[in-house]
Amino acid sequence: MPDHDAAAAVEGRDTRVAWLLAVAAIVAALIGTWAAILAAEASVSWQDAAVQEVHAGSLRIVFGTAAYNAGAAALDAQRTEAEASNLAAAGRAYDIPAARAEGAALRKSVLVDPGLTMMSAASGQSPDSYDPKVAVASLEKQLAAAKNQPEALQREGDRASRRAVRMSAAAVLGAIAFLLAALARAETRRRPLLLGASLGVLALAVVGALAIGIVI
């Protein structure tokens, strides 16, 4: 009978160790998966930041270039207007019909640039007092009001990435718990110590993973 009890006790210990091994392996795998999910989240956020940057950058390039081209057209129009006034004044003063006609024709050509018409309308300005900086500022205001800002997405990605690294460390703790349990199975003399250490490290891994995943 005592032999039977001893054998039952050994079997019981082996079963507990086997359970610990299985739990440690499952916990390590789950935490590792969680870390992989966080890393994927970081990757998606970084890609979104790049996409948003491309989107905003394209708008800035197209709108900004058009705004300053329209600005150059507005400057041309202003000078044409001045030149038309001067020619008309000189024509009247010296009675030169050609100068008067040229002045009148020049005046007619003022403010017909389609880009200027479009950009002044887009930024709510009058074509004869059009300022490209105002147009660009109106675009920046619209971009700033957009929901997904590249910088915010980049920070979000960085944050998820930091959490992924910490979660990975927790997964390594799970793997160490597995190793300690495996050693406890083989090493009979230090089994209680190794089992205790394995349980402690496993608990640390679980608590750490939950803290990283839920609290931090």
What's the CA gap between 173 and 112, in Å, rounded? 72
Please identify, among the stretches 6-14, 73-81, 109-117, 206-214, the one whose residues bind another protein according to the rule CB under 8 A.
73-81
Smallest distance from another protein to CB 85, Å: 6
The contact mask relative to another protein for 155-194 (x = CB under 8 A, - = no) is --xx--x--xx--x--xx-xxx-xxx-xx-xxx-------
Count each helix (H run) and each strand (E run) in the chain, helices first. Answer: 6, 0
Q: Are 91 and 98 in contact (CB under 8 A)?
A: yes
Indicate the angle between helix axes 114-122 and 2-94, nearest 10 degrees.
Answer: 130
What is the footprint of another protein within residues 122-151 (CB under 8 A)? 131-133, 150
The CA-atom distances, in angstroms, between 21 and each of 4, 164, 171, 199 are 26, 24, 15, 10
Site for another protein (CB under 8 A): how many residues?
62
Q: Provide the residue type at 119 as one letter.
A: M
Contact segment (CB under 8 A) with another protein among 5-13, 35-43, 137-145, 206-214 equals: 35-43
- Location of structure tokens 């009058």: 126
Minimum Å distance from CB 213 to another protein? Answer: 16
Contact mark string toward another protein, 75..114, x via CB under 8 A: xx-xx--xx-xx--xx--xx--------------------
